[in-house]
Structure 1
Amino acid sequence: MAMATEKCNVSFQIRYTSSIPATGASAVLRYRIKNSTGSYAQYNITSVPNGGSIEIPNIQASDDYEYILDLTANGVTARKTDFFYVGKCIPPYCEIPDIKRVYLGEEGQIIMEYSTDEADLYAIEYQIATDDKFTKIVHVRVIMGSDYKPLEYIEMNDGTIDGETTYYIRARRHCSKSVVSAWSNIVEFRSGKKDAYIFEDAYCVSDAFKSPTDSEVMGASICWTARNPLLKTIKLSTPVPKIGSFIYLKDDVTPPKHAIPGNLMSFDEAGGPNSGFNEQGIRWIRFGSDKLGNDPSIIYNVNPKTGEIVNIYSYCAS
């Protein structure tokens, strides 16, 4: 990936005199690198306060420039040509992202629609807070430039985002490892209802074992369908088991408790296949029903520390 190109905001003053009171003065500034044959960059100045400061953004750093300034007031236009020099930008200019909207998608998924120039993009960072001053930040994420997409699907199941709660979000652009833009516009949004879906056909194996199908070691296999001691009732963050689903306890509490070490005492039994849950977490899970298109032969890998289904481990033989 190319490193970010440094750009500068250049400020200057326009002073003029008129034989009659000047109203509605405007100007057009055209500039290019001195003695170059390329076309002029143009910047339109819709209002020119006499002696006021005018800022021209995104001028390439470290070069001599020639410019043409056309000033119009009271129907009369005057032209000035001259030169200016841009040295090292302190700090370098870095474009600010624009958050267009934040809305709820399917299953209450929080989606941020935002835009930024993808050229020389190093990373995008966004923050979510419970107040618009961002003194109580609850969620932070950095997205590398190669992973940027105009729609960001915000993680809702890691315990940082509560249901039916008002939040504020902002973003900033990293043009390089050391050059960062100012924060974007702040957008207020409200999270949706955080539902959890109950499953009475979940077969779980803890991280205390090396294989979910080794019945000689465990005394059971995750693939057994009849009288399987590994059968549990749990809740999921999604209506259908899939990669990215989070596992919760079946307890009727809001928000639901994550099925992670320290919360799984009810899963444990002394010895046998139902051991190691509370200390080491769930390592594998399978769902026995074929409802809603679920494949009951799939054995999923689970991140024991978070209770998230991360990928497919294997399949039970039919």
Structure 2
Amino acid sequence: MAIATCNISFNINYTSSAPVTVVTAYYKIKGSADPYTVQSVYPVPSSGSLVTLPEIQTPGEYELVIELTASGVVTRKTSFFRIGNCSGSVCKEPTINKVDVLDDGQIVMDYTVDTTNLATPEYQIATDIGFKNIIHFKVDFDYSPQEYVYMNGGNIPDNTVLYIRARSHCESPSGVSIWSNVIRFQSKRWIAKKAPYAFDDAFCVSGKFKSPTNSNEVGASICWTESPLQKAINLTTSVPQVGSYIYLSDGITPATPANLGSFETGAASSGFKDMGIKWIRFESYNRSKIYDVNPSTGLITGVSTSFNCNAV
């Protein structure tokens, strides 16, 4: 078959001992409950002839049934074709490159979207390849090449074969792309994170030191934008605040002294295993504020009244 933007053409090949008197084409979007569009092919084409269907305006994957009648005997053959967007600009479908399922059960979709005139991506997860049983979907969000599927809704079963697909919604011209390729993957047991909010710009000083801003004592200042004091952590709240608990970057392990071996890199970044985190600052959020931390629990207890980064 030869596919144009809005047209489909194909060669019809057949062998018949009796003359073929009627040729009819039936087509509709694959899986649709809509009736077939019926197109009589006249004059009756000879075997090997090229047949072109009328222009099709709706993009999508179509089912095509060709019916031949000879001496009252009807023969049918089914095939499929795809039609793109028929406007001047095409709302191009995404490509799903791969799906990773992390050890904690987190599903991560790596996909490529043409951001030209993109309004929003959309994706669906189903238990069947025909997407009759859709268990999760998302639309109206900003595109990022790696999409971390929201796992806390309780609708994604553990240890189950699942299918995922995506499409684009475009602004100009307004429209929706056809669906992307489908990726099959198997889920794992989801281990819910106690601290789901990640921050990779947290600067931490241990209780080993007396002043988090004194670079002569510490070897670095908590106010510096780059230093060994920068750590990746998770919080129990979406923004840093009094009452937040600090966890390691897995979102599961509390940032208490016994768990802070990975923070120990020597010099300024030391004392964590024995004395815990005493102060913390976030470069991307209220960057001048230094928070006091209870070293034994990892709880942010307040905004420091003794130290800040305004004067540094």
TM-score by length of 2: 0.39
TM-score by length of 1: 0.39
